[in-house]
Structure 1
Amino acid sequence: MRNFFLAAIAVMSFGVVNAQDIKFGVKGGVNLSNFTGDIEDASSKVGFHVGGFAEFKLSDKFAIQPELLYSAQGAKFEDSFSKEKVSMSYLNIPIMAKYYIIDKLSVEAGPQAGFLLSAKSNWESSYNGKVASGKDNIKDIFKTTDFSFNVGAGYDFTENLSAGLRYNFGLSNISDSKEGGKIHNNVISLSLGYKF
């Protein structure tokens, strides 16, 4: 996994050297995140992402776009007696290869490394009419790094303003539990970007 990410960095470096046009920008938007793997009753949680990017245009059709994003992710759980919201924050570094199908419409794909900043659980349970609730720091049960892969599409409304839709599927196990179960992050992101 790390070799794959290093290869992507090498491709990006080649792109930077050969870039015909470089634009910097900011982006932000909504996340719909969830967990998959050896886990039950997980449902999607709404979060957000915000950060910056640089687009290195190699030709009229092809570009490399590294990004640095703060991303609020996680999942929700609920049964007859309890409900829980797991809120996680990551510093994500995607490196996207973009191909412009037509002048303003592009498709993209690329790897992503994520670094866990925080993980918290807000829970509530009821038993025999009694309700209990709490907030716990659960960062120690998750791994500090996450490797994943992105696919998506983008549309440039103007030379500066753009929108994008991206699906991020986790490749690595984020659980640090000794019980042996595997958990993966999955995130759908809708964003608006502005190029300077």
Structure 2
Amino acid sequence: MKSFYISLIALFLTAGAVQAQEFSYGIMGGLNVSKVNNALGGEFSDNKINYHVGLIAEFPQGDKWSFEAAAFYSGEGERLESDGAEQTVYLRFINVPVHFKYYITEGFSVHAGPQVGFLLNAKQSFVEDGDREEIEGKVNSSFALTGGLGYDFGNGLFIKGTFDLGITDLFDNVDFSNDERTRTGHLSLGYKF
């Protein structure tokens, strides 16, 4: 139920932004570096490399401010060693971030905001057999805080770097010390029409 309310808030933020007179839309894609981390700590050394691709729209609210909303497929997860065996966790999301964007100078911007991630599937594999098995007890969606930097080149091309910090547990459990949350860095290249 919590995920429903979070999604509803994101929808209202996007709907408010759509009322802007001008907007641009486009496509983007790029590289992900991700990890599934315990809330109480962990390192980024077991990161997994993957990709993302999707759609983006920007709704100017003045000379310096704008709203930016996106919907994109994102491959996430991690590689780790467990009981002497290498294990890989594969997570596939449709992420929907809504960013508040501020242009520091012409073209250069900072952005931050909430993101809802809808989990398509969660699998894991072990080196011994390499088969991917469904992870039991996964939740359907996650919520993250996001922020980053971007540069618009003025001809439609843009580049942006964003870091997502998951704040909801990916798997059903009652022990807070076992909460697993995503940490993902995105490096995106795109084009706005």
TM-score (normalizing by structure 1): 0.87
Q: Is the 8 A contact 1:24 1:54 kept in 2?
A: yes
Q: Which residue of 1 aligns with 2:153?
A: 157
Structure 1 unaligned segments of length 5 or more: list them. 125-131
Q: Which runs of 5+ in 2 are unaligned?
A: none
Is the Cα contact below 8 Å between 1:5 and 1:111 reproduced in 2?
Answer: no
Contact 2:6 2:116 in 1 (8 A): no
Deviation of 1:118 (Å): 1.4
Stretch of structure 1 that moved more, 33-42 or 21-30: 33-42
Q: Tell me the alpha carbon deviations over residues 144-175 of structure 1, each in whole angstroms, 9 at most, x when there is no partner.
A: 11011100110012330000000000010111
Structure that is richer in strand per residue: 1
How far apart in 1 are the matches of 2:83 and 2:132? Answer: 21
| Structure 1 residues 153 and 143: CA distance shift in structure 2, 3 A | same
Find the aligned partners of 1:141 and 1:134 in 2 and give their Cα distance.
Answer: 21
Structure 1 segments of 4 or more deviating over 6 A? 39-42
C-alpha distance in 1 between matches for 2:135 and 2:59: 35
1:116 to 119, 139, 155: 119
Counterpart among 5, 14, 18 of residue 16 in structure 1: 18
Once the 2 structures are TM-superposed, how far is the Cα of residue 137 of structure 1 from its aligned partner? 2.3
Corresponding residue of 1:26: 27
| SS of equivalent residue, structure 1 residue 27 | strand
Asked if 2 retains the 8 angstrom alpha-carbon contact of 1:154 and 1:162, the reply is yes
Hey, what does 1:43 align to over in structure 2?
A: 46
Q: Secondary structure at the match of 2:87?
A: strand
Q: Are the aligned partners of 1:31 and 1:46 in contact in 2 as well (CA < 8 Å)?
A: yes
Looking at structure 2, the residues matched to 5 and 22 of structure 1 have their Cα atoms a distance apart, in angstroms, of 22
Alignment of 1:105-144 (within 5 A): 105-124=108-127, 132-144=128-140
Of residues 140, 144, 167 in structure 2, which corresponds to 1:148?
144
The structure whose Rg is larger is 1
CA contact (8 A) 2:26 2:57 kept: yes
Answer whether contact 1:32 1:189 (CA < 8 A) is retained: yes
Q: Distance in 2 between matches of 1:102 and 1:134?
A: 49
Q: How far is 1:142 from its partner? A: 1.6
Report the Cα offset of residue 134 of structure 1: 3.4
Say if 1:193 and 1:186 are closer, same or farther in 2 by CA, change over 3 A: same
